[in-house]
Amino acid sequence: MHVIMSETDFVYCKDRYINTHSCNFNNHNRTGVLYEVIRILDGVPLFLEDHLERMFKSAEIAGTKEKLPDYETLETIIRGLISQNNKNTGNIQLNIDPLSEDGTDIFCGFIPHHYPTEEDYRNGILTDFLFAERKNPEAKIIQKSLRMRANEVIKEKELFEVLLVDRHHLVTEGSRSNVFIISGDTIFTAPLNMVLGGVTRRKAIDIINGSGLKLIEKAWKYTELLEKADALFLTGTSPKIIPVAKCDGARYDVENSVVREIMIGYDKMIRKYTDAHR
């Protein structure tokens, strides 16, 4: 089946910009492909340096870093895609298959996205658990089976996100987000060796450290999260920083002052970055 994922006229495929309808997304979205999803805001690829640094790190973990194009080449492709489509807002997915039979295969295109509503940010989102774990969690590599399972649960239960629980009953991360837990005056999040370290996660930690708040990198058991957490928030490219209202029946404080302080800090960080990179 010929699958078109882009909502725009042009995608970058292999070594050139082509009409979206000439490109089969499935050919560039196989399990094992390196990828990044980058938010475009006011024509600016948000935190592009961090996204590409993570892609190079993923390639290093996979043993294929030497096959990737350099930073300047990838930046030129992404900015060229924005210009070709005259589209200043949305999400771009960059896929690189360094083991393609035809040499390093690059695909870059605008993809459908779902941003939270103002009501979601105000009232919090609904989540539940998915007992599953990411293979090689430190590398951002497509894992279709996990994505499909997560999507099925999200759709069936009408959730915003599912939180992954590993074989040790520890909550590691969301299916496309990172998880932060607040208990008293302390913030907890799973350590990097257990999760895919998101760019927004890193920015949230910068805000936390800069505000003098207490952070401990430690995963909680899902039963502890249900019984002892005061508040939860998720971080990610599309949701930014968003409070969790409910998980598996447990309710959390969406007005928690620490969560709100971090949300405000992140929005200020975004404005500063876009102003500097226009």
pLDDT value of position 131: 95
Beta partners for 109? 93
| 43-79 tens-digit pLDDT | 999 999 999 999 999 888 888 877 788 999 999 999 9
Q: What is the pLDDT of residue 62?
A: 81
Asked, colleague to colleague, whether 10-111 and 118-275 share their fold, the answer is no
The domain 118-275 is classified under which CATH number: 3.30.420.270, 3.40.640.10, 3.20.10.10, 3.30.1370.60? 3.20.10.10
Please say whether the beta carbons of 189 and 180 come within 8 A: yes
Residue linked to tokens 């760019």 = 199
* pLDDT given at position 2: 32
What's the confidence (pLDDT) of residue 136? 74
**How many whole angstroms separate alpha carbon 118 and alpha carbon 112?**
19
pLDDT one-digit tens code per residue, 235-271: 999 999 999 999 999 999 999 999 999 999 999 999 9
**Given 3-state DSSP classes, what are the helix, strand and coil percentages for the chain, each rounded to the nearest 5?**
35, 30, 35
The runs of H, that is alpha helices, within the chain are 48-62, 71-85, 118-123, 144-157, 199-210, 222-228, 257-277
End-to-end CA distance of the chain: 39
What are the domain boundaries of the chain?
10-111, 118-275
| Positions of the chain with pLDDT lower than 70, given as ranges | 1-7, 24-31, 101-103, 138-142
Query: What is the CATH number that goes with domain 10-111?
Result: 3.30.470.10
Is this model's pTM higher than 0.85 or not? Answer: yes
